[in-house]
Amino acid sequence: MGSEFEMSMMGELNFFLGLQVKQSPKGISICQQKYIKELLKRFDMEASKVIDTPTATGTRLDMDEIGSPVNQTMYRGIIGSLLYLTANRPDIVFSVGLCARFQSNPKESHLKAAKRILIYLKGTQDLVMYYPSSDSFNLIGYADADYAGYLVDRKSTSGMTHFLGSCLISWGTRK
């Protein structure tokens, strides 16, 4: 373990792997606002109007056999960038996971769904994960699943979250 002098020379953590970190005596907040702004610029979505949900109600993506194909490299770039964002944005995990299923043969409908997530992020880029320093240590978990809800192969999708006190510490979905 380093001396106090060595630790004080490093300073406070501000950025870590694209995460913006702000520390205070009351707690830590983590966001990815800068990364989201860069994504919107990279995929030319800066001028888009904001929307309030990452996926439209009732969206049911399938293979879309008759749909127009889109550039796989661009689509995969969007999906990869969105997957990276899920490290700090549990609100987009399900929607990104749904779009990620179609990377091998993306169609216009899949690209539209992925771009909708980007537009949603534009309006919510200032959201943060906040972890107060004096929270209780009760571990609580929640899980939910649909039954055969995926139209392509009729498999189920499940989701889970874990809280330590009031702080979300783990989340995910699985087909």
Q: How confident is the model at residue 116, as a pLDDT? A: 96
pTM: 0.76
Q: How confident is the model at residue 131, as a pLDDT? A: 84
pLDDT < 50 stretches in the chain: 1-7
Q: What are the contacts of 152-161 at 24+ separation with CB within 8 A?
A: 152/62, 152/63, 152/101, 157/94, 157/97, 159/93, 159/94, 161/90
**76 to 59, 68, 83, 151, 174: CA distances (angstroms):** 20, 16, 10, 22, 19
Render pLDDT for 33-51 as a digit per residue (tens, 0 to 9).
Answer: 999 999 999 999 999 999 9
Render pLDDT for 61-72 as a digit per residue (tens, 0 to 9).
Answer: 888 889 999 999
